[in-house]
Each structure stands twice: as C-alpha cells, then as structure tokens.
Amino acid sequence: MSVLSAIRVSHVTIAAFATVGWFWGSFAALAPQLKAQIGADDATFGLLLLGTSVGLMTTLILAPIFDKAFRSWAMPLAAIGLSAAFLGPGLATGPKVFLVAMVVTGLASGLLDVVMNARVSEIEARLNRPLMNANHGVFSVSYAFGALVTGFSREAGIPPHFIFAGFGVLTLLASTRMFMDVDVTDDTEEQVSKFPWSIVLLCGGVVLIAFMTEAAVESWSALHVERTLGGRAAEGALGPATLGLTMAIGRFGGQAVAERFSELSVTAVGAVLAGAGATVAALAPSPVIAYLGFGTLGLGVSVIGPLGLALVGRLVPPRMRTLAISRTAALGFSGFFIAPALMGLTSQAFGLRVAFGGVAALTCVLFVLIPILRRRGA
C-alpha cells in the first residue's frame, strides 16, 4: 500500500496527528524561551516537564470513558481541548503555574493521542493494512513545520502565547475533518481478568523506549545547539526540525517496509540507527554534525513507536483494542515527559553531552525486549 493511499484512507486521523505534531514541535522550539520565562535551571525545568506525565497518566482511566461518551466527537473535542491547554505554558511566568499548565497539557494531549491511535488501529483491522507509520509520519512532518515556524517567530520577537494561539486557529480548522463514526466496544474493567497485560507491557516497553529517545531530542536539542554549540535561536530550532523531518522520511518509508518485513526486524534496525545517531549528537563539535546525529536518530527511532502500537492493536481481541491501546499509549507516551526530566537532571550534573550519551545507552534495552516478543509469537 503506497504512502499516499494510506494517507487517503486514514484522512480523518491524519488531521489529528498533524495537530499533535505542530503543537509539540512548537513547544520543543520554544523550550529555551519558556525555560528563561519561568526562571528555571536545567534540573528544575526537566522536573517541571514531569507534570505532563501526571496529566498523561489520567488517560489510563479517562481515555476509554471519553471515547465511549463522545464517539465520533471524541477526536475533534480532544483537539480543541489541546489547543486551549497549550496557552497555559505559553502564558506561565513562574514554575508553579508552569507545572499546573503542563499537567493540563499532558491530559489533553494524552486524550487525543489515545483516541487517534485507537482509530488508526480500527481502520487497520477493517482494511487489514498497516497504516500506523503513515499517520505518525504526518505527525513528524507537522512537528518539523511547528518547530520551524516557531523558530522564525522567535527571531521576529513574537511571544509564546501568540505562537500557540496561531496553531490553535489551525487546529480549529483541522478539527472539522476529525469526525469518524465508530462502534466503541465494551472495554470495561469487568474484563480485567482476561486483559492481555503481558502483551501490553512488552509492547508498551518498546513504545516507551522509542518515545523517550525521541523526546530527549525534541526537548533538549535546541538547548544543546544553542548552549553547548553556540548556535542562534533559528539554528537551535533546526535541531527538533531535523528530527521531525527525518522521522517523517523514516515513517513514510516504514509504511512500505512494514508491508514486507516483520515489526521486530524493522525495530532492531531502527534501534541500531537511533543509538548511533544519539552518539554522534553527544560528540558533535558543531551544529551541523549535531544535525547529522539528530537526523540519524530520527530515521532509526521513527518506526519503533508506531510498530509497537500497531503490534498491540493486532495481538489483542477487538473488544479490548481501545483499552489495550490506551494503556500501551499511556505507558509509551509517558516517555515524552520522563525523558526530558532525566535529561535535565543529567545535564545539570554532567552536561548535555553526557545526557545524549545516556540516550544512546537507552536504545540498547530494545535488544532485550525484541527476543522476548519474538518468543511470544509477535
């Protein structure tokens, strides 16, 4: 199935993935300015980002309920909620307000993440075709778009809340294309005795490592380029933008690869590339070499998370799909907020070069999980 065909048949979810992409791309490019705006050091800023994971964890319970309650309205309502939530960090002027804002942002992002991934899995099951990489590829393109627009907006002196508001207008337009009629199955807690926890935890571990690796570059690449390597604001924005663009290339390419090779084989190759890229970024003597590292990492890590989510959607019974994906996604997406905090603590103690070296080491854990999943018949 071609990439364009995959995008065409999942056009409803594509709009949701684009929305999440441009907001988090903008946030990544704004990280140095937001950090200065609230007066936080590296360690404090990293810990404050954990507030997002607190909000995200509530989606373990709320996402399936939200999905059943609103059905075809779930995606557009979650997207509008996300656009409102991002005004919080843009307006925050102190650590406490920023922490609360990140909790709310994590909740809104988690709701949309779970619902849109569950919808993709439903379309995949209906058509018996892989679609996850194409959708995540659009997220990556949108992420790069958000980072680049934000970088130039910072150069022009536009404040963060105006930048987020601009993406909010785009989201309102995109939300009109997110309606999708679905039959939400009965994924209640009464089924907990039959719930496939082992599959969820194993696939969730793969997604967690992938998204921790991705988040480390998203949140700290701009600071690495600007502070460690002496780049300007626009050069700093090129760090997350490079990641987003190469992840898009990897995911669109992964759409074709996923139809020919097993998920676990592709994941192993991706892990090697991601580890190599993180090592190059850690040792980079200049922004250009750092971009090379970020790009290599992006190509490698791009396919790992989507394949993990697709795998759990394929292995669990249809009636448990939304609940299983919500828990796998919540575990995996927590990596987006755990990793920045760990990066901040490591950077405060040892510097960003050592922190990016830790990212390279993290990818090695995938080589423990892959054989276990293979033995489980995945």
| Six token digits for residue 166 | 């601009």
The arithmetic mean of pLDDT across residues 142-168, rounded, is 91
- Runs of H (alpha helix) within the chain: 3-9, 11-38, 42-48, 50-57, 59-70, 74-85, 87-91, 95-127, 132-155, 160-175, 197-223, 233-257, 263-283, 287-301, 304-315, 321-333, 335-350, 352-363, 366-375
Tens of pLDDT, residues 295-344: 999 999 988 988 888 888 778 887 777 778 778 877 887 787 788 778 88
Q: What is the pTM of this model?
A: 0.76
- Other residues' Cβ atoms within 10 Å of the Cβ of residue 13: 28
What does the buried/exposed string (b/e) look like for 302-330 if buried means 16 or more CB atoms within 10 Å of the residue's CB?
bbbbbbbbbbbbbbbeeebbbbbbbbbbb
Digit-coded pLDDT (tens) for 51-100: 887 887 787 778 878 888 888 899 999 999 999 999 999 999 999 999 99
pLDDT of the residue at 185: 54
Other C-beta atoms closer than 10 Å to the C-beta of 99 total 20
What pLDDT is attached to residue 183? 58
Interval 192-210: pLDDT, tens: 447 788 888 999 999 999 9
In terms of phi and psi (left: phi > 0; alpha: psi -120 to 50; beta: otherwise), the region of 14 is alpha
- Choice among 16-20, 100-104, 209-213, 304-308 with the minimum mean pLDDT: 304-308
Q: Specify the pLDDT at position 325.
A: 79
User: CA–CA separation, 78 vs 94, rounded Å?
Assistant: 27
Give the C-alpha separation, 85 to 26, whole Å: 14
Q: Where does the pLDDT of residue 347 fall: very low under 50, low under 70, confident under 90, or very high at 90 and above?
A: confident
**Any idea what DSSP says for residue 334?**
T
- Cα–Cα distances (Å) from 26 to 33, 155, 166, 256, 284, in that order, read 11, 13, 11, 29, 24
Going 212 to 101 to 171 to 109, the CA torsion angle's sign is positive
